Structure 1
Amino acid sequence: MASRSLIPSAPSPPASPPIMRRLLHQYGEEESLESDSGELVRSTDKHEQEFLEKADEELDKVNKFYATQEAELLARGDALIEQLRILADVKRILADHAAASSRRGRGRALGRANSMPPPSPSVNGSSGRHLLSGLASPQSMSDGSVELQQARVAEGAAVAEEVMAALERNGVSFVGGGLAKAKKDGSGKQLMGRAALLQLPATVRIDIPPTSPGRAALKVWEELVNVLRKDGADPAAAFVHRKKLQHAEKNIRDAFLALYRGLELLKKFSSLNVKAFTKILKKFVKVSEQHQATDKFSEKVKRSPFSSSDKVLQLADEVECIFLRHFAGNDRKVAMKYLKPQQPRNTHMITFLVGLFTGTFVSLFIIYSVLAHVAGIFSSTGSPTYMDIVYHVFSMFALISLHVFLYGCNLFMWKSTRINHNFIFDFSSSTALTHRDAFLMSASIMCTVVAALVINLFLRNAGATYTDALPGALLVLSTGVLFCPFNIFYRSTRYCFMRVMRNIIFSPFYKVLMADFFMADQLTSQIPLLRHMEFAACYFMAGTFRNQAYETCTSSPQYTHLAYVISFLPYYWRAMQCLRRYLEEGHDINQLANAGKYVSAMVAAAVRFKYAATPTPLWMWMVVISSSGATIYQLYWDFVMDWGFLNPKSKNLWLRDQLILKKKSIYYVSMMLNLALRLAWAQSVMKLHLGRVESRLLDFSLASLEIIRRGHWNFYRLEHEHLNNAGKFRAVKTVPLPFRELETD
């Protein structure tokens, strides 16, 4: 007992306190008291002395870590309060001048009704969120007469001076700052350029990360303006505009939320350590009966910084008050909704529905199998159009359902092993899917699909016309559910999915987050699904279902060319994401190497397509060489980079030092399984003589195996990411602050 740590620790650097490791595993003023150590170990035997020395070492580590984290959070809090003060001053100045301008505009309205632009919206001084409505736009500066423009420019100069004064009062210093110089028009009148409107000096900027194409375009425009300013030109957009301040306000709000979460984690760290020391000392007293030494050590724990310091509590209360006043409109319920999001309550209704839909699916599948056998659908004399048309649509939904089911298995395993997937993906705990939700979605999809299959078979046997319209109706229904604007059918999850897909499709113009490239990796395993979607779009949108000319959507040259593009798209998107991360992360060479992996997969896919069109021995060897090279590349990246395995110096043979699962054999079996499923491409070079039905079933089976491999890959990918976060004590996200001072020569 004397040689053990106070609390079992999760994988982390050796010098880190065990309690914090465990805290990160679940989610995610330094004072020296060495003078008391001598008294604590007197009058005790050897084992008791050893225990107290070990306990004292653990206490010292906890104190040091707490002091470091406390200092970082306090410094972050001071910086955020300063940022908020700057933002409030700028917004107040803008609101005051907007209100004054509105009053003057009403006074001139009788004489200049035609030349005046629309008045600025009214300013609501009771809520900081509405202060930006009075901010002018650059377009309004070019409207009206020359005298009116002069008045506005003069007013803009006054506002700019006040803004700079407010920033200077808050510690933002300027070197060589100043407004744009006045210019003269042809009549000799002084005219200041539009840059005078709220222009900031060259040494300060509102820094908004270019996470979207709109922000990226704005950043490019500002850089162009900076170049023009250096050349003495009159910049047209050097102004503090409404959109930028709105982004700045949102960043500050998110930073306060991250700070509050960090404070809450540090408070839990403190309480857990106090509880741990209390329990272990009680057990020590029970075994050794050393009441005097234990009482002294308990006093030492109570006087320790992690137990006695109230700075974190005070800062947490201050953050609550600030958030309540500035970001929640003095509505405490709204503030607590953001600061302390509640976990959704688990109900038995979801479990009941999962069982109901699963049982219905099994029953309907048995009915469909019997009816299909009786009707001879899958026999050699069956209708070829059924497999060529219905197969694509229902295989698409089956693959989606399988992927959702495996994601539910991932969610269950991540929760069971305390992998903080919500933090990794930046999901809100109040709206994130649970494994029960994923199972419900999967079961309901398959139940609906098999029910449609049974109805379609009944209609076909009854000789009904337009039986193929039923798969089309199923597609329309699923599309309507996906884009449904009402708060039903997991709206937050659907909108998150569409947002992530938008980021993927428009790569590399959006900032790449963990959820984005994780979803893009899923798409690389769903190329057969994309091919089925291609056929469905061709068959139902082009109107070919009227004459059942399905050959148009399978063998036409346009279809073949589109198949090339669709097969390359997931790899292209993923490669573009790697290039974006390469530029954003300081030219990390690993991102270029990762992009090379997807390029090699594109080359291998292109060669396989060519071999399918021209099955010659030369192209067969090209398939073997290119696919083998791509597979080796992918396996290396899976095992070494994504999973962290194959470490020759690891204490766990060919694995890594930290493992979450207790049985090492699971990791070795997983590596072999991933290797076997990566070799599924080998069937493309085998001359298998299969019938129409058998060929379709083989394609569906291989697509399902690839999805199973991806679901299996997902767990170890997030396990590795979680261990990296735990080792570096990353439990809250870092939000960039908008106001920063530029370095000057």
Structure 2
Amino acid sequence: MKFGRELASQMVQEWQTAYMDYQGLKTLLKNHIAFRKNTALSPPPPEVSRSRSLKRRLTMYRAFSGLNNLRGSPKKADDEVILVSSVQQEGSDQSYYQTMFLRSSEEGGQIELEFFRKLDHEFNKVVKFYSEKVEQVKVEAEELTKQMDALIALKIIVDKPPTVAAQFVGAAAPATVVASVNGVKQGGLQLDAIQEVEMSSEGGDGDGEVRAKRNRAFRPASLEVLDHVKINVEPDTPVSTLRTMVGSSKSDLSFSKDELTKAEVQLRQALTEFYQQLRLLKSYCFMNVLAFSKIMKKYDKITSRSASKAYLEMVDNSYLGTSDEVNKLIERIEATFIKYFANGNRRKGMKSLKPGHKREKHRTTFFLDTFFWRRYRVNYPFIFGFKPGTELGFREVLLLASGLSVLSLAAVLSNLDMEMEPNTKEYSTLTELVPLTLVSAVFVITICPFNIIYRSSRYFLIHSAWHCVCAPLYKITLPDFFLADQLTSQVQAFRCLLFYAYYYFSGDFTTRTNNFLKDSNSYDILYIVVAIIPFWSRLIQSLRRLIEEKDRSQGANAFKYFSTIVALVMRTIFSQKQKQKPKPPSLVFWRIMASSTSGFTTIFNTYWDIVIDWGLVQRNSRNPWLRDKLLISNKAVYFVAIVVNILLRLVWMQLVLDFQIPFLHEKGMVALIACLEILRRGIWNFFRVENEHFNNVGKYRAFKTVPLPFHYEDEKIM
């Protein structure tokens, strides 16, 4: 694999603009090759020939004059191609690196000069980004240190008997317990004292003085730290949400087992996420250093110069090459996690810290379709918050969808076979149980507790669906409102489930009638209610985000779903009135109400899809009427998607306009509209996730924010 592809495959996609522009630098070198080929076809002008002859004579003179051997330097002046120096920025303590190209007057020198200018720009960009990220992780490490101090103190209080715990109160905790998270104060790094503590505990009596000296180097946290902290109660459950509504989200410690368990779970997750961040930051440093090495060696090969040694020496001596804070933090995180969250079992601890890689399964490699997210390197596992290594690839998604489709088709064919075969036609009751069996089979597969058929993904779906049902009692995350958006396109499916419930529980399936439609007014009411539920879930999700995030756009989003609910109610009532015989006098009124509300919500939803959810139709973007960054190079795809979305949105007006296809049954028309809505939602999904991906890229957001269990009221106690 060429290095350019390897770099693209290894980079953190949310940081892709912060990586060295390897392809851009490679393009400049290709321009140099093209220039040399063009100049080689035509003889140089006489003036250039004379200058070259003079330059060769001067070179020969300096070579024999002994000027190049001053101060015993083995390097010849003619061999010097570049001079790299660190320049201090005016009015700032920061410095940047600048390369002076000494051969700019030579033929093609301007292209090489441009190459080094861009090379310096890319290197300074990488160093700046890396140094900023290292400072951020050092601050996070300090915060995690304080959290671990509080956790260990809480663990001592909860796990020890009252008499033993009382001995610790007001006194320093044992160094072997707490020093591991305090860090080396002089070095400025946190979470790095475990090895020192363990070494001090392994020696014999002869090295007691050494142990005492080491112990004096650390100041273990006192259990009095618990007097200055509160437990964070995040609104992530219905109970905690209601508690937050009536009081503070931070409460006093009660020193209970539940608090300790919750704190351990949160800190375990926080350390795991922090460890992944450190690993990716280490990979970022390594891949960029390797990229600069590759491009300089390529430059030497193309230009037949020897500039890579000088430049790579500067890279090695820069902050990018000399900083080891990340490696030290990685070692200390591993030691801390293994000691306190894996009972000293290194294999178990490292298995939890390092996520498993998704293995390709050959039995699904022949299924190709919907692979665009992977092809364009959209980080959808991070966007949806999947546990690393458990997300489904496009092959598994297609396999699962194909399996469900085959199962449904088999049910339909078996039903038709029982109807059309004279020998089995008498088993009409059994025939009517086929749809119920299909729905039951899908439900059982979904809740199956055994580790088959992608259990982690099924439980993730159930978890998100439960959050949608209980909204707004849970904190709103992207998977929750994304799933709720999918459910808004499944109105007809919800209504079919309602029909099944009445059809089978009323006993009409035994006689193949639908008398409940005539005798039950509750069905007409629930027919509207079940269609409203997904839109209502999105409405209250948006209201909660409006209150929590203070984002006014969420208020507009809530109004969009409210208008959709109104339009849905009006269209359904109009449809029900239209079926009555004789036609009621109020039919014209309901038609006007359905038409006006449906027209308004269609325009509103279409605008929101294209402008807000997809981020398109931006006037001042580099891609006119689209957006600055696009995954697909063919811009026509986006314009086609916009047109298709508008047309499919207009399908909503079908019930109002009474548009019917002569050769298509009414129920067939409903099924066709439902299929078109699924198609529209599939298109919406791709461009919605693409826009979310670029939002993360623009903010270099590649990690989840994990809430921490403890809140320090007095930050100076540490």
**TM norm structure 1:** 0.72
Distance 2:649 2:284 in 1: 43
Within the candidate set 575, 586, 611, 1:612 is matched to: 575
Displacement after TM superposition at 1:741 (Å): 2.2
Task: After superposition, give the CA deviation of every residue in 1:358-387 in whole Å (9 maximum; x if it has no partner).
Answer: xxxxxxxxxxxxxxxxxxxxxxxxxxxxxx
Matches within 5 A, 1:221-240: 223=248, 239-240=254-255
The question of 1:640 aligning with 2:602 is answered no
Task: After superposition, give the CA deviation of every residue in 1:691-744 in whole Å (9 maximum; x if it has no partner).
Answer: 896212111111000010001000110111110111111111111222122379
Distance 1:73 1:692 in 2: 66
Percent identity for Structure 1 against Structure 2: 33
Distance 2:457 2:249 in 1: 39
Within the candidate set 331, 334, 352, 1:317 is matched to: 331
The question of 1:66 aligning with 2:130 is answered yes
Q: Is the 8 A contact 2:14 2:701 kept in 1?
A: no
CA distance 1:692–1:583, change in 2 (3 Å): same
Residue aligning to 2:711: 740
Displacement after TM superposition at 1:32 (Å): 8.5
CA distance 1:663–1:595, change in 2 (3 Å): same
Q: Is the 8 A contact 1:10 1:18 kept in 2?
A: no
Equivalent position SS for 1:495: helix
Equivalent position SS for 1:730: coil
Residue aligning to 2:156: 92
Tell me which moved more, 237-246 or 49-58.
237-246
Equivalent position SS for 1:575: helix
Distance 2:223 2:692 in 1: 38
Residue aligning to 2:171: none
The question of 1:243 aligning with 2:207 is answered no
The question of 1:328 aligning with 2:299 is answered no
The question of 1:486 aligning with 2:546 is answered no
The question of 1:33 aligning with 2:86 is answered yes
Q: Is the 8 A contact 2:614 2:688 kept in 1?
A: yes
Query: Aligned AA for 2:278?
Result: L
Matches within 5 A, 1:157-556: 170=221, 204-219=229-244, 223=248, 239-291=254-306, 293-351=307-365, 412-460=371-419, 461=421, 462-465=424-427, 466=429, 467-553=431-517, 556=520
Residue aligning to 1:717: 688
Residue aligning to 1:597: 560
Distance 2:645 2:478 in 1: 22
Displacement after TM superposition at 1:314 (Å): 1.3
Residue aligning to 2:593: 622
Residue aligning to 1:575: 539
Residue aligning to 2:204: none
Q: Is the 8 A contact 1:535 1:553 kept in 2?
A: no
Query: Aligned AA for 1:259?
Result: F
Equivalent position SS for 1:468: helix
Runs of 5+ unmatched residues, structure 2: 25-83, 89-95, 167-175, 179-218, 579-586
Distance 2:246 2:97 in 1: 63
Distance 2:518 2:535 in 1: 23
Equivalent position SS for 1:550: coil
Q: Is the 8 A contact 1:40 1:297 kept in 2?
A: no
Query: Aligned AA for 2:237?
Result: S
Residue aligning to 1:192: none
Q: Is the 8 A contact 2:232 2:250 kept in 1?
A: no
Task: After superposition, give the CA deviation of every residue in 1:93-124 in whole Å (9 maximum; x if it has no partner).
Answer: 2222258599xxxxxxxxxxxxxxxxxxxxxx
Taking only aligned residues, the RMSD between alpha carbons, in angstroms, comes to: 3.4
Query: Aligned AA for 2:704?
Result: K
Distance 2:628 2:693 in 1: 14
Task: After superposition, give the CA deviation of every residue in 1:522-545 in whole Å (9 maximum; x if it has no partner).
Answer: 011110011111111222234332
Distance 1:100 1:10 in 2: 49
CA distance 1:423–1:19, change in 2 (3 Å): farther
CA distance 1:44–1:288, change in 2 (3 Å): farther
CA distance 1:732–1:223, change in 2 (3 Å): closer
CA distance 1:415–1:12, change in 2 (3 Å): closer
Query: Aligned AA for 2:493?
Result: L
Q: Which has the larger radius of gyration?
A: 2
CA distance 1:681–1:170, change in 2 (3 Å): same
CA distance 1:329–1:238, change in 2 (3 Å): closer
Displacement after TM superposition at 1:673 (Å): 0.5
CA distance 1:449–1:10, change in 2 (3 Å): closer
Displacement after TM superposition at 1:54 (Å): 2.5
Equivalent position SS for 2:161: helix
Task: After superposition, give the CA deviation of every residue in 1:599-633 in whole Å (9 maximum; x if it has no partner).
Answer: 00001111112211334333222222111111111
Displacement after TM superposition at 1:479 (Å): 1.9
Q: Is the 8 A contact 2:364 2:395 kept in 1?
A: yes
Task: After superposition, give the CA deviation of every residue in 1:429-481 in whole Å (9 maximum; x if it has no partner).
Answer: 31111111121112222222222223223333322331212222222222222
Displacement after TM superposition at 1:171 (Å): 8.9
Displacement after TM superposition at 1:58 (Å): 1.8
Within the candidate set 551, 557, 567, 1:588 is matched to: 551
CA distance 1:287–1:75, change in 2 (3 Å): same
Q: Is the 8 A contact 1:344 1:430 kept in 2?
A: yes
Displacement after TM superposition at 1:319 (Å): 1.0
Query: Aligned AA for 1:607?
Result: M
Q: Is the 8 A contact 2:471 2:541 kept in 1?
A: yes
Residue aligning to 2:38: none
Q: Is the 8 A contact 2:616 2:625 kept in 1?
A: yes
Q: Is the 8 A contact 2:546 2:555 kept in 1?
A: yes
Distance 1:696 1:684 in 2: 12
Query: Aligned AA for 2:156?
Result: R
Equivalent position SS for 1:34: strand
Distance 2:602 2:23 in 1: 37
Runs of 5+ unmatched residues, structure 1: 23-30, 103-125, 129-167, 175-199, 227-236, 355-407
Displacement after TM superposition at 1:689 (Å): 5.9
Distance 2:642 2:141 in 1: 45
CA distance 1:689–1:636, change in 2 (3 Å): closer
CA distance 1:20–1:239, change in 2 (3 Å): farther
Distance 1:440 1:239 in 2: 50
Distance 2:220 2:338 in 1: 25
CA distance 1:301–1:90, change in 2 (3 Å): same
Q: Is the 8 A contact 1:172 1:741 kept in 2?
A: no
CA distance 1:458–1:640, change in 2 (3 Å): closer
Distance 1:13 1:318 in 2: 25
Q: Is the 8 A contact 1:19 1:272 kept in 2?
A: no
Task: After superposition, give the CA deviation of every residue in 1:55-102 in whole Å (9 maximum; x if it has no partner).
Answer: 222212211111110111122112212211221122112222258599
Tell me which moved more, 69-78 or 518-527.
69-78
Displacement after TM superposition at 1:553 (Å): 4.6
Task: After superposition, give the CA deviation of every residue in 1:394-428 in whole Å (9 maximum; x if it has no partner).
Answer: xxxxxxxxxxxxxx955x21111100000000002
Equivalent position SS for 2:343: coil
Within the candidate set 663, 675, 696, 2:646 is matched to: 675
Query: Aligned AA for 2:117?
Result: E
Q: Is the 8 A contact 2:535 2:561 kept in 1?
A: yes
Distance 1:19 1:248 in 2: 42
Distance 1:289 1:692 in 2: 75
Displacement after TM superposition at 1:570 (Å): 0.8
Task: After superposition, give the CA deviation of every residue in 1:287-306 in whole Å (9 maximum; x if it has no partner).
Answer: 32331x43211100111111
Distance 2:635 2:627 in 1: 10
Q: Is the 8 A contact 2:468 2:537 kept in 1?
A: yes
